[in-house]
Amino acid sequence: MLKDIIDNNENYQPGLSIDCVIFGFHDNQLKVLLIKVERANKWSLPGGFIPVDQDIDTAAITVLNSRTGVDGVFLRQFATFGKVDRNKQHFDKKTLEYLKIEEAKGKWLMRRFVTIGYYALVDFSKILPNPANRHEIVEWIDHKEVPELILDHREILDKALDTLRIELNLMPIGYNLLPEKFTIPELQKLYETILDKKLDRRNFLRKITNIGILTKLDEKKSNVAHKAPNLYSFDKEKYDEVLKNGLNQGW
Amino acid sequence: MLKDIIDNNENYQPGLSIDCVIFGFHDNQLKVLLIKVERANKWSLPGGFIPVDQDIDTAAITVLNSRTGVDGVFLRQFATFGKVDRNKQHFDKKTLEYLKIEEAKGKWLMRRFVTIGYYALVDFSKILPNPANRHEIVEWIDHKEVPELILDHREILDKALDTLRIELNLMPIGYNLLPEKFTIPELQKLYETILDKKLDRRNFLRKITNIGILTKLDEKKSNVAHKAPNLYSFDKEKYDEVLKNGLNQGW
DNA sequence: TCATTAATGTGTTATTATGACGCAATGTAC
DNA sequence: GTACATTGCGTCATAATAACACATTAATGA
C-alpha cells in the first residue's frame, strides 16, 4: 500500500494528497468515517495520493470507493489545505523504519504536503467500512464524539461540516444519506443534526414538501412506538433538477 | 522571474500553482485583471508558484500583491483544478528554448500541474496594473469581453464568477469593489453586473438598507446629469459582522 | 377494555419579506 | 421657463415564515 506508492513515487503527484470527509447518518446521528492505523494513537480521515495520470476528482472517487465500496454517491471538493507546517514531522525516521521505507525514498513522504479536501454523503446502511489492510481500523464515529485527529484533520472535518451547513441552504440534502424509504421526522432529524439546532415539526414539513422533491408513499413505517409515520421517497428527477438549479435565488 | 523559479525549483512545490481571478468594478462593468506575455497569443490569469516555506494563502496574497500593489483586500480560495491534461503541452520545447531554460530543468515545468484558484475583489480606482516585467502586459478586461484564455483559465474564471454569485446571497459584497463613498444606484449596478440581471430600484434600496451595513452620508454626488444621488459608505464594523455571520439563515 | 402517552398529521394566525408598481422631487439641458 | 431622466419614498397584494392549537394514531399498562 503506502510502501508501494513510495517505491513508485514517480507515478504520483509529489507534495499533494486527498483527504475525504465521509458523512453517514444512523440512529439520528451524523457519523464520520475515520481510520486508525495499528501503530498510531490518533485517528485520521481516509486519504490518498494522486496518480499522475488521474484527475483529482477521480483520485477522490478512488479514495472513497476503496474505503466504502460504494460509488455514484455525492462527492464534492470543498477546500484545499496548505499551511506550510501542516504535515511537519508527521513521518519521522522511526515511522519510516517501522514501515520499512528506505530513508532516500522516505523523503518523498516527508516533504511539505498540500491536501485537497472532499466530502461525501453516503447511505450508512449500504456501507461496510473497508480497511485497506489488516493493520488498519475503519469506523463510523459520531461527529460529536470525534477524538483527536492527526495533523490538521480536525480543521478539515470542521470545514467540511461548515460547507455542508451552507450547502443545505442551497440544495436538497438527503438522497445519499437516507435509505430509499424514509419518514419526514427522519429527514428532519438529519437536518437538525447537521445544523445542530431544533426545527419546528410543522414548519419543516411545509417547507420540505413545498420544494417538490418528495413522493408520499402509500405506506407507513412499521414496528414503531406511537403513531406510525408515513413513508416518503425522493423524486429523483425533481431532486436532481433542484440540485442543479439551487433552492434559494436570494437576489 | 520564471527562469529564477525554474533554476531554483527545489524551493517551490512541484506540480502545484496558484491562479487568481481578480475582479474590479469600473464604468458599471465588472472587470477582470488579465495578463499576456509578449510571445503568447492568448491571455491568462495572473498566477504563480508556491514557495515550499509559504502557506498557500500567503502565496496567493503574493500573486495578488505583485500584480496590483494592494493588500488587505478580499481574497478567497474557491476551488482547485486538477484535470490530468489541463496543462498538457503548455510548455513545449520551443517555448523553453525561447525562455532559455535548459531541457533538464524545464521538465519541472512540463509535468502535470494542479492549480489552486483564488478570487479577489479590489477597488479598481486604487489599482495600477503592474506588469512583472517589460515582456508582460497586464490589463483590466470587461468580463463580458474576455478573449480566449490559455489552458483551463476560462473554466477557472467562470467558476470564480459562479462562486461570487452564490456568495452574494450569503454575504455583503461591495466593500472592496467600490470607492469609499458611493451611491445606491452604483451599488445596484454592481449587483446587477455580477448577477447579470436587472433588479428593481426600489426593492433593492429597501433590501440593501435593511441589512444595516450602510451609512447615509450628508452629501450628494456632484457633477452628474439629472438628480444628484445621495452618497453612502459602508459601516465597516457592521459590514464585518454580517460578513462573519452571513446574510440568510435559510433553515 | 380503555384511558394514558407520545408520537404524527393538519390547520390557523400574526408577522415579515418580497415583487410590482405609482408618484413626487431634483437637477440638467434646451 | 419646460422637457426629461433619474432619484427618493411610499403603497399594495401576495408569498414566506414563525409560533402555536388541536385532532389522529398506535402501543402501553392499569
pLDDT digits (tens, 9 = 90+) for B7-50: 888 899 999 999 999 999 998 899 999 999 877 889 999 999 99
Estimate to the nearest angstrom the gap between the alpha carbon of A196 and the chain centroid: 18
Q: What is the mean pLDDT of chain B?
A: 91
pLDDT at B18: 97
Tens of pLDDT, residues A76-131: 999 999 999 998 878 877 878 887 888 888 888 889 999 999 999 998 888 877 77
Q: How many CA atoms lie within 13 A of A147 on its CB side?
A: 11
Confidence of residue A55 (pLDDT cuts 50, 70, 90): very high
Lowest-confidence region among A122-126, A154-158, B109-113? A122-126
Range A147-175 average pLDDT: 94
Confidence of residue B145 (pLDDT cuts 50, 70, 90): very high
Chain B residue nearest residue A79, CA to CA: B79
Confidence of residue A250 (pLDDT cuts 50, 70, 90): confident
Tell me the longest C-alpha to C-alpha distance in chain A: 66
A132's grid cell: 485497506
- Answer yes or no: is pLDDT of B72 > 80: no
B157 close to B146: Cβ distance less than 8 angstroms: yes
Tens of pLDDT, residues B79-104: 999 999 998 878 877 777 887 888 88
Q: How many CA atoms lie within 13 A of B17 on its CB side?
A: 24
* CATH 3.90.79.10-classified regions of chain A: 2-168
**If you write DSSP's letter for every residue of B116-168 in order, what string do you get?**
EEEEEE--GGG-----SSTTEEEEEEEGGG---BSTTHHHHHHHHHHHHHHHH
Angle of the A201-211 helix axis to the A184-195 helix axis, nearest 10: 100
CB–CB contact A191 B82 (8 Å): no
A5's grid cell: 506508492
* CATH 1.10.10.10-classified regions of chain B: 184-245
pLDDT at A231: 94
Task: Please state, for a pLDDT cut of 90, what percent of chain B lies above it.
Answer: 65
B121 close to B161: Cβ distance less than 8 angstroms: no
B124 close to B178: Cβ distance less than 8 angstroms: no
> Which has the closest alpha carbon to B61: B79, B73, B51, B52?
B73
Task: Give protein residues whose Cβ lies within 7 A of nucleic acid chain D.
Answer: A 200, 202-203, 206-207, 210, 220, 224-228; B 183-185, 201-203, 205, 220, 225-230, 249
- Answer yes or no: is pLDDT of A1 > 80: no
B80 to chain A, minimum CA–CA distance in Å? Answer: 7
CB–CB contact A114 B56 (8 Å): yes
CB–CB contact B168 A13 (8 Å): no
CB–CB contact B82 A166 (8 Å): no
Range B239-243 average pLDDT: 93
Q: Using an 8 Å CB-CB cutoff, list chain B residues near A83.
A: 55-56
B137 close to B26: Cβ distance less than 8 angstroms: no
Task: Please state, for a pLDDT cut of 70, what percent of chain A lies above it.
Answer: 100
Chain A residue nearest residue B116, CA to CA: A80
- Answer yes or no: is pLDDT of A174 > 90: yes
CA B61 – CA B132 distance, rounded (Å): 15
Q: Using an 8 Å CB-CB cutoff, list chain A residues near B114.
A: 13, 16, 50, 56, 116
Tens of pLDDT, residues B178-195: 999 999 999 999 999 999
Give just the sign of the alpha carbon dihedral B201, B202, B204, B208: positive
A202 CB neighbours strand C below 7 A: yes
Q: Using an 8 Å CB-CB cutoff, list chain B residues near A246.
A: 166
Q: What is the mean pLDDT of chain A?
A: 91
What's the CATH class of domain B2-168?
Answer: alpha beta
Residue B229, nucleotide of least CA–C1' distance = D7
CATH of B184-245, one of 3.40.50.720, 1.10.10.10, 3.10.20.90, 3.40.190.10: 1.10.10.10
Is residue B146 exposed (0-12), middle (13-18) or buried (19+ Cβ within 10 Å)?
A: middle
